[in-house]
Structure 1
Amino acid sequence: MIQATIQAKTLADLDGVQHRFFTRRGGVSAGLYSSLNCGYGSGDGLDNVRENRRRAAAAFDLAEADLLTLHQIHSSEVLTVGAERWRSPGAPKADALVTDRPGVVLGVLAADCAPVLLADPAARVVGAAHAGWKGALGGVVEAAISAMERLGARRERLRAAIGPCIGRDSYEVGPEFPVPFLAQDEANGAFFRPAPRAGHFLFDLAGYLAKRLARAGVAASATGHDTLAGADDFFSYRRNTLKGVRDYGRGLSAIALEG
């Protein structure tokens, strides 16, 4: 059985850095949102989400107000976090956060999209990115790396982890989907293979992100968990959609500098 949090080998044991890929276990929400739903964008009760986020922040020995997430828009927009704090709902619109400040938890929400956590422990700079296919194609991870470099990070020291996301065997896409990826680089065809349904493909989102991180000169690993297949442990937009369910919980992935 998967526990309430998952650690990535590239980020484990980094001095002064804590990270966690939270599963759906260990919260207070019920039914469709059971149980650690951390997304205010869902139809879950606000008090449930707030308590779930409080529990997640407590895992870093911080308060719920110190857990910062975004109104994610599938972009390459990055926000650099200084002393400011904001409340959710009402968070700024972007898809990545970076900081050189302790005392704050950077979080991204996902339910099939890929969370990517990054750290340069020597520079004491961390980042978190939400990478669905649009954000991945548009360069959200590279944008986060550049923002971290502006805070003093160096990409040859950076370590990254791609968290639980929809797996290649689960991610069926239509015939038009590979076109922008192939237009970007014909070699991206390696991340597609024929699906059982004629004219469709299976897409390897984590593999595509790993390639982009490698090209950026950043050491990375993927946890290898498939959110669609792991119903007991992960929220999945597509799994619910295939069942005709219109809403879904949001899983949290987070990183912080120790004080």
Structure 2
Amino acid sequence: MAEGADQPVEVIRASLLAGLPHGFLGRRGGVSTGEAAGLNIGLGAEDEPASVAENRRRAVAAVMPGAQLVTVYQVHSPDAVVAQPGWPDADRPRADALVTDRPGLLLGVVTADCAPVLLADHSAGVVGAAHAGWRGAFGGVVEQTVAAMERLGARADRIVAAIGPAIAQPSYEVDDGFRAQFTAGDGQFFAPGRSDHWQFDLESYVAARLTNSGVGQVEKLGLDTYVDPTRFFSYRRATHRAEATYGRQFSLIGLA
């Protein structure tokens, strides 16, 4: 049986985004089986296409029934685009964030340890979704998302943002080479680990990038994908277990 197939889709919501259709989803409530069991929505997880399609349908229905789902082809970039309805899968832009001011569109980003960020300017009626792995966050995906929202009429100090399930610092070991890519001022996001290694706080790093970009309020949900296999998919956990593949989860936001 699929992981959590007998359960409803779990939708984790953020208080700062109350009043907007949104949610951070995990693996509960889907139909996929095997190592990607549950609500896998990843097209690259070696899953049955029909199962992925059904999981995506369930995800949309749980967050914003009747909405048109819009996603991008994620490449760990800093790029943010304005969502357009009707992108065929083969023609989706290569980017890692998308924004809209159009009701009826549901923006989706895919993660499996990276930090999903959902953003909104309630007053302007502008929302955004970003996939912020360390590489994208380091490269500026947060800042590009805020800038794209501002071009649609949002104002940075009115934007609120929530960071969903992601790998947490105790679970995220990196080496000296990784640490050396960051500035001395980023030292607050690294805790000493075993010899020549560090524990990286991705969630706090992304939160700081949001704050430094002028975002008014940031909510960290503090949910570690790595340590909760019944609730979340995790790329690093699957790698450590030598599993052949891993599922992906959705983070969604739209305007009704």
Q: Is the 8 A contact 1:235 1:249 kept in 2?
A: yes
Which of residues 48, 62, 73 is equivalent to 2:66? 62
Partner of 2:155: 154
Q: Is the 8 A contact 2:41 2:55 kept in 1?
A: yes
Q: Is the 8 A contact 2:9 2:58 kept in 1?
A: no
In structure 2, give the amino acid aligned to 1:230.
D
In structure 2, give the amino acid aligned to 1:241.
T
Following the alignment from structure 1 to structure 2, what is the Cα–Cα distance between the partners of residues 199 and 189? 15
Following the alignment from structure 1 to structure 2, what is the Cα–Cα distance between the partners of residues 171 and 122? 37
Partner of 1:199: 196
Alignment of 1:135-214 (within 5 A): 135-182=136-183, 186-195=184-193, 197-214=194-211
Aligned identity (percent) is 51
Q: How far apart are 1:90 and its partner, in Å?
A: 5.0
Following the alignment from structure 2 to structure 1, what is the Cα–Cα distance between the partners of residues 192 and 25? 32
Following the alignment from structure 2 to structure 1, what is the Cα–Cα distance between the partners of residues 59 and 241? 29
Following the alignment from structure 1 to structure 2, what is the Cα–Cα distance between the partners of residues 39 and 104? 20
State the secondary structure of the residue aligned to 2:169.
coil
Following the alignment from structure 2 to structure 1, what is the Cα–Cα distance between the partners of residues 190 and 208? 14
Q: Is the 8 A contact 1:40 1:89 kept in 2?
A: no
Partner of 1:31: 34
Partner of 2:228: 230
Is residue 2:11 matched to residue 1:5? Answer: yes
Quick one: structure 1 residues 166 and 37, their matched pair in 2 at CA, closer, same or farther if it must change by over 3 Å? same
Q: How far apart are 1:58 and its partner, in Å?
A: 1.2
Partner of 1:18: 21
Is residue 2:93 matched to residue 1:87? Answer: no
Which of residues 51, 54, 57 is equivalent to 2:54? 51
Q: How far apart are 1:118 and its partner, in Å?
A: 0.3
State the secondary structure of the residue aligned to 1:177.
helix
Partner of 1:120: 121
The alignment yields a C-alpha RMSD, in angstroms, of 1.6
Partner of 1:73: 75
Following the alignment from structure 2 to structure 1, what is the Cα–Cα distance between the partners of residues 9 and 31? 16
Q: How far apart are 1:20 and its partner, in Å?
A: 0.3
TM-score by length of 1: 0.92
Q: Is the 8 A contact 1:74 1:135 kept in 2?
A: yes
Quick one: structure 1 residues 242 and 90, their matched pair in 2 at CA, closer, same or farther if it must change by over 3 Å? farther
Which of residues 213, 217, 237 is equivalent to 1:216? 213
TM-score by length of 2: 0.93
Following the alignment from structure 1 to structure 2, what is the Cα–Cα distance between the partners of residues 76 and 87? 22
Q: Is the 8 A contact 1:40 1:88 kept in 2?
A: no
Per-residue CA distance 1:199-248 (angstroms, 9 max, x = gap): 10000000001111111121111110000011110000000000112311
Q: How far apart are 1:151 and its partner, in Å?
A: 0.2
Q: Is the 8 A contact 2:168 2:201 kept in 1?
A: yes
Quick one: structure 1 residues 2 and 155, their matched pair in 2 at CA, closer, same or farther if it must change by over 3 Å? farther
Following the alignment from structure 1 to structure 2, what is the Cα–Cα distance between the partners of residues 39 and 53? 9
Q: How far apart are 1:88 and its partner, in Å?
A: 3.1
